[in-house]
Amino acid sequence: MSLTKEAAKEWGDFDVRVIGRRLRENRERSGKTQGEAAQAVNVSKDLIWRLEAGRIASPSLLIVLRLAQLYDCSVDELALGRGVAPELSKDISREAIKLLGQAGMNLTRLSSILDRTE
């Protein structure tokens, strides 16, 4: 199954079957069933199955992003098979919070959000 031109623009030349396999692996690693994942991101269980089977030529980036958040991985990891090292990710998050604080964002609230995710 090849990607449509529109999907190729969004995903590049990635094989949706590979992305599907990574979605399944990350879902299983998170301990969730297809039904639980579907309910959490407000889609049907059938859609989760079709995504994982690589049966959707142009998966919605929004749904993939929601699943990545649910599975605690990055879209980069799903698409490319690699992610940012957890220690580096925390450093990047802390730096982002510092910059957002300098821009007038509520630094205390942002820090508490990061602390809950560690």
pTM for the structure as a whole: 0.58
**Nearest of 64, 69, 62 to residue 52 by alpha carbon:** 64
Residue 71 Cα distances to 26, 48, 108, angstroms? 6, 13, 26
Which residues form the domain of 90?
86-117
Rounded Cα distance between 18 and 24, Å, is: 10
Rounded Cα distance between 89 and 2, Å, is: 33
Q: What is the pLDDT of residue 3?
A: 41
Residues 55 and 90 in one domain: no
Residues 76 and 90 in one domain: no
Amino acid identity, position 49: W
Residues 48 and 16 in one domain: yes
Q: What is the pLDDT of residue 10?
A: 47
Residues 48 and 99 in one domain: no
Residues 30 and 63 in one domain: yes
Rounded Cα distance between 37 and 23, Å, is: 11
pLDDT tens-digit readout, 12-56: 446 788 889 999 999 999 999 999 999 999 999 999 999 999 898
Highest mean pLDDT among 38-42, 73-77, 79-83, 102-106: 38-42
Does residue 7 carry a pLDDT above 80? no
Residues 48 and 74 in one domain: yes
Total of domains in the chain: 2
Report the 10 Å Cβ neighbour count for 51: 25
Residues 76 and 99 in one domain: no
The angle formed by the CA atoms of residues 114, 79 and 22, to the nearest 5 degrees, is 90
Q: What is the pLDDT of residue 74?
A: 81
Residues 15 and 67 in one domain: yes
